[in-house]
Amino acid sequence: MLQIHWYVLAIIVFLLVIFKPFFIQKQEIYKSLPPSPPSLPIIGHLHLLKQPVHRTLQSLSQKYGEILLLRCGARNILLVTSPAAVEECFTKNDIVFANRPRLLAGKHFTYNYKTVIVAPYGDLWRNLRRVMTLEVLSPARLAPSSNIRQDQVRSLVSQLMQSYASGARKVELKSKFTDLSFNVMTMIIAGKRYFGDDFEDVEEAKQFRDVIRGTLDLSGVSNIGDFLPFLEWIDFQGYEKKMRGLMIKMDKFLQKLVEEHRQVLLIGNKESDSDGSAKKTVVDNLLMMQEKDPEFYTDEIIKGIMLVFLIAGSETSSSTMEWAMALLLNHPDVLKKARAEIDANVGLGCMLDEQNLPKLNYLHNIINEALRLYPPVPLLLPHEASNDCKVHGYDVPHGTMLMINAWAIQRDPELWVEPTRFIPERFEGWNGEGYKLLPFGGGRRGCPGVAMANRVIGLALGALIQSFEWERVGGEEIDMVEGLGLTMPKVKPLEAIYRPRIVITEHPL
């Protein structure tokens, strides 16, 4: 979304008056539209959408109602902050809202809408989701990849141990979590890690991380041309040029990975498991599928699958780990309780692994509470109505963009006791009732990587809690100010004081 300054607004209105006949569509008559705040001619409610947008939209919902119709230029937006209405959208109207709007970021960052996140609902989307599930996200695939996740978490713990032995007492955790999440995904996808002492081209890895950050930042802004189509002709805000530049760098990195694996497959030089069978990565399997069905498994499709895992799969997990650790540092009593649970269920002489996670209920409560307070995507990715439908008795015209404010729902005092407080105990006995907790979306377009994310987050947080004592830097409370972008980063990267626990030092990895 965006904030429009008065002088920009004046230019837009002037241009709209001139070009009005070219983009104003015929308005159909609907008997019972959702309530709508007062708006300006032509631009509608665009001027109201100030940063941070999830907070602005929460204020609008509190003032005008939980189901609102916003008119933003040529687009209608259905804004929902009611769990009952969300349930209706994701059940009764799930197929109607299974499409995604075609926005500029989707065009440039997803190979022209060819990834599972933004592909139109249909055969392409179904095939992409099936391939990603079968190759990485199914229970049958998650179990064998547990050693990758565990190895990368143990590597992080070892790095911290070594840094402490060298005299370090303070660590910046944001980059550690980012590197960990990215390494997990690149190991699963391509069989190589990109951050750590064993990677030769550190500069390439840092550049790619910057590209990912830039991609997420640009995906989180609103291009005015998405709402006022005629402005796309002139790239009014310069976003399209920036997107093209970032995607060129992104594509170069992904294509290099594809070519590396293509060459290895051609010469048949693959590392083998102990039983003699070759170790194959996701890229290897996709390239073999390409040989059988080159029309579907093009390089763009393969790179699009890689891109989704590398960005969506790593950024959301690392962001959640940072917020969760910041909350624990601000609530040492919760941290102490979590450590006691791990000590009781895992023991003092061995490192926590994924098999221990089902026994760590309080750790899961902490993660759920962190996701409630700081969802990785505060405004769920938008949906689009493919037909007219009704939501809570209101008429919703076809083509309407559905925006669900998960951040507002998850902090609603009507739904949660003391909604702004960090209380992991609220999730004791939680069975996911209703649509009150939505960090991964819902319906058929919900995130398919929930199980993967929970394993990475749980394993990393659990290992850090088990292995180290943690304190705030200077004793002051952690700054919890939210940044801008598609995901919701902390403005100030998380730093903490740490020291190895005696029991872990006596039982090294």
Please give the biggest Cα pair distance in the chain. 76
Domain ranges of the chain: 6-506
Q: How far apart are CA 309 and CA 327, in angstroms?
A: 27
Q: How far apart are CA 129 and CA 121, in angstroms?
A: 11
pLDDT tens-place values along the chain, 509 residues long = 444 555 555 555 555 555 554 444 444 577 899 999 999 998 999 999 888 999 999 999 999 999 999 999 999 999 999 999 999 999 999 999 999 999 999 999 999 999 999 999 999 999 999 999 998 999 999 999 999 999 999 999 999 999 999 998 999 999 999 999 999 999 999 998 877 655 556 677 778 888 888 888 888 777 888 898 888 778 778 888 999 999 999 999 999 999 999 998 888 755 544 443 346 899 999 999 999 999 999 999 999 999 999 888 888 999 999 999 999 999 999 999 999 999 999 987 889 999 999 999 999 999 999 999 999 999 999 999 999 999 999 999 999 999 999 999 999 999 999 999 999 999 998 988 789 999 999 999 999 999 999 999 999 999 999 999 999 999 899 999 998 877 889 999 999 999 998 655 444 44
Q: Please name which of 310, 319, 312 lies closest in space to residue 175, comparing C-alpha atoms.
A: 319
Could you tell me if 371 and 466 are in contact, meaning their C-beta atoms sit under 8 angstroms apart? no
Q: Please name which of 371, 336, 362, 367 lies closest in space to residue 425, comparing C-alpha atoms.
A: 362
CATH topology of domain 6-506: Cytochrome p450 (1.10.630)
- Model pTM score: 0.90
Q: Please name which of 62, 12, 68 lies closest in space to residue 41, comparing C-alpha atoms.
A: 12
Q: How far apart are CA 69 and CA 91, in angstroms?
A: 20
- Alpha carbon dihedral 389, 99, 449, 106, in 10-degree steps, equals -140
